[in-house]
Structure 1
Amino acid sequence: MATHIAASLQGVTIPDSKLGRAITEFIRDTETELLFNHSSRVYLFGALAGRQRDLTFDPELLYAAAMFHDVGLMPAHSSPHLRFEVDGANAARDFLTSHKVDPSDIEKVWTGIALHTTPGVPEFMHPVIALTTAGVEMDVLGLTYDWYPDAQREAVVAAFPRTQHFKEDIIQAFYDGIKHKPDTTFGNVKADVIADKEPHFHRGNFCAVIRGSHWHA
């Protein structure tokens, strides 16, 4: 990363440790360029959010969570019946276990990935968990866009570019990764992705599940 970019990011950089390099190599070989760049931006925005909130976190763990958070969208790591978030969390756990990371740290990464599409909860949890979601909400949804100075946003995008039509491209990437298991979107935001791409999709309904249960009353 160029010096001026690093300066704009207040010293936040991609971890250059042995584990950090291994994560980068694995994700670069596993994901599309779209998702690799997106995940890298998620880490940088999440780390910057941590600075803003004065949170203490392990950059390697946040990097692992950010980089693996969409791995479950890739066919090689997509199960038939689990939420893609859980598939990604499981892939991260396997990877970190093979690198002998402490199990308690692995659990933080696993949870950060598993909950990154569950708004309103991660922000109250461990910084690795909270900041993974913070990075996603910034890069995909732009919820905290104005919290970052122009120079920071521009530096992140210069380092890991957004495609010309990123908004539609990322929606398509989500759909491609989950369309074979629409039932796993019940109760989470990815049901909106299926509904957007499939006009006749009938999403699960929480009240209907209650009323249709085997209980008599």
Structure 2
Amino acid sequence: MADEPKMIAGIAIPDSAMTRAATELVRDTETDLLYHHSRRVFLFGALAGNRKGLGYDPELLYIGAMFHDMGIMDEYASETDRFEVDGANAARAFLTSYDVSERDVDDVWDSIALHTTPGIPQHKRPTVALVTAGVEMDVLGIGYHDVSDGQREEVCRCHPRGLKFKHGILTSFCLGTIRKPETTFGNVKADVLSKMDPTYKRGDFVEMILSSPWES
């Protein structure tokens, strides 16, 4: 956006026709909380990439970060898929309008689809690893002390967390899953609905095995 800084905490905000269009789309679609969260995810992911010496594409990281929660919004939410998959599909559809290779589109898709699946993204290519690193920093505080006080303060000055971000992001996760609770099976959103939806019943992997139609 024209009134936002082009450089934050030493990280240049990608400024191409594609990234400007993505910024406008996400700004017009998401809540303020999710928009600022997504920008922080890019910045913290980029800082992690610089710190680790990873050769990443800033535009791909930006698109992954900006679209990673789009599946929470009604306009992009499917009836049956995890909201991460819905966001990944939205990013893929967006990228088809631009000259982006299939491998890069797949990396952006994976970066969004896997961003709430611990233990896998860090072993993937930089776009995937760094979107999750940015999410984990902003939501869970993983890597908090690896970022300097000055960098954290500048990021949050430009894209405020607000006083109730923790509760706000949990509410957003809840809204993205409460109408399709089956999508929480085997992932961290089960914890969210367990806390926030009194009617929710967590799926049990062991019981699924024991009650399967197999005799033994």
Paired-residue identity, %: 54
Q: Which aligned pairs between 1:104-123 and structure 2 lie closer than 5 A?
A: 104-123=103-122
Q: Provide the residue aligned with 1:165 in structure 2.
A: 164
Kindly state the Cα deviation for residue 35 of structure 1 after the two structures are TM-superposed. Answer: 0.3
Q: Provide the residue aligned with 1:75 in structure 2.
A: 74
Kindly state the Cα deviation for residue 154 of structure 1 after the two structures are TM-superposed. Answer: 0.3
Q: Which aligned pairs between 1:84-163 and structure 2 lie closer than 5 A?
A: 84-163=83-162
Say if 1:17 and 1:2 are closer, same or farther in 2 by CA, change over 3 A: closer
Gaps of 5+ in 2: none
Q: Which aligned pairs between 1:12-91 and structure 2 lie closer than 5 A?
A: 12-91=11-90
TM-score, structure 1 normalization: 0.95
Partners of 2:98 and 2:21 in 1: how far apart? 9
Q: What letter corresponds to residue 207 of structure 1 in structure 2? A: V
After superposition, the C-alpha distances for 1:164-190 in whole angstroms (9 at most, x for unaligned) are 111001101111121100110000001
Preserved contact between residue 178 and residue 197 of structure 2 (Cα < 8 Å): no
Partners of 1:206 and 1:27 in 2: how far apart? 36
Say if 1:79 and 1:2 are closer, same or farther in 2 by CA, change over 3 A: closer
Q: CA RMSD in A?
A: 1.2
Kindly state the Cα deviation for residue 96 of structure 1 after the two structures are TM-superposed. Answer: 0.3
Q: Provide the residue aligned with 1:178 in structure 2.
A: 177
Partners of 1:46 and 1:129 in 2: how far apart? 10
Partners of 1:70 and 1:201 in 2: how far apart? 22
Kindly state the Cα deviation for residue 29 of structure 1 after the two structures are TM-superposed. Answer: 1.1
Q: Provide the residue aligned with 1:201 in structure 2.
A: 200
Partners of 1:76 and 1:169 in 2: how far apart? 20
Partners of 2:144 and 2:29 in 1: how far apart? 29
Preserved contact between residue 72 and residue 85 of structure 1 (Cα < 8 Å): yes
**Secondary structure of residue in 2 paired with 1:98:** coil
Kindly state the Cα deviation for residue 121 of structure 1 after the two structures are TM-superposed. Answer: 0.7
Kindly state the Cα deviation for residue 200 of structure 1 after the two structures are TM-superposed. Answer: 4.3
Partners of 1:167 and 1:215 in 2: how far apart? 43
Deviation larger for 106-115 or 157-166? 157-166
Preserved contact between residue 97 and residue 103 of structure 1 (Cα < 8 Å): no
Deviating beyond 3 angstroms after TM superposition, the runs of 4 or more aligned structure 1 residues are none
Partners of 1:35 and 1:110 in 2: how far apart? 19
Deviation larger for 122-131 or 98-107? 98-107
Q: Provide the residue aligned with 1:211 in structure 2.
A: 210
Partners of 2:132 and 2:142 in 1: how far apart? 11
